[in-house]
Amino acid sequence: AQKVTQAQTEISVVEKEDVTLDCVYETRDTTYYLFWYKQPPSGELVFLIRRNSFDEQNEISGRYSWNFQKSTSSFNFTITASQVVDSAVYFCALSEATGGFKTIFGAGTRLFVKA
């Protein structure tokens, strides 16, 4: 069965610190997709990244980077030089090829970045 675990409920950092948000997933499929979404205080979740299970190449987008490791079933998200505007709830999500169209979300990690 699908499952996404975000063990960190809340993280608090000071501006300019680097921070890593952990995501561990469970799936029996060989084909699946992983996502990260950001939920700012306004409420709407915003898509950040999508990876498929056959592409383990790490990705960097500005201050954001993602580390996908199938061996440990993890898809961690790092923000470099954090800023106050990064304060939000971040969700990791999983979609299985044989699970139909369901996107299963983790419980989210609330990130506080203090000035």
Partner 1 sequence: ETGVTQTPRHLVMGMTNKKSLKCEQHLGHNAMYWYKQSAKKPLELMFVYSLEERVENNSVPSRFSPECPNSSHLFLHLHTLQPEDSALYLCASSQVLGKNEKLFFGSGTQLSVL
Kindly list the residues in this chain that would bind partner 1 in the complex (CB under 8 A). 4, 9, 33, 35, 37, 42-47, 50, 52, 91, 95-97, 99-108
Please state the closest distance from residue 18 (CB atom) to partner 1, in A. Answer: 25
Please state the closest distance from residue 16 (CB atom) to partner 1, in A. Answer: 28
CB-wise, 105 or 112, nearer to partner 1?
105
CA–CA distance, 28 with 41 (Å, rounded to integer) = 34
Please state the closest distance from residue 46 (CB atom) to partner 1, in A. Answer: 7
CB-wise, 38 or 65, nearer to partner 1?
38
CB-wise, 43 or 62, nearer to partner 1?
43
Length of the chain: 115
Query: What's the DSSP call for residue 75?
Result: E
CB-wise, 33 or 80, nearer to partner 1?
33
Q: How would you classify the pairing of strands 10-14 and 109-114?
A: parallel
CA–CA distance, 35 with 91 (Å, rounded to integer) = 8
CB neighbourhood size of 106 (10 A): 22
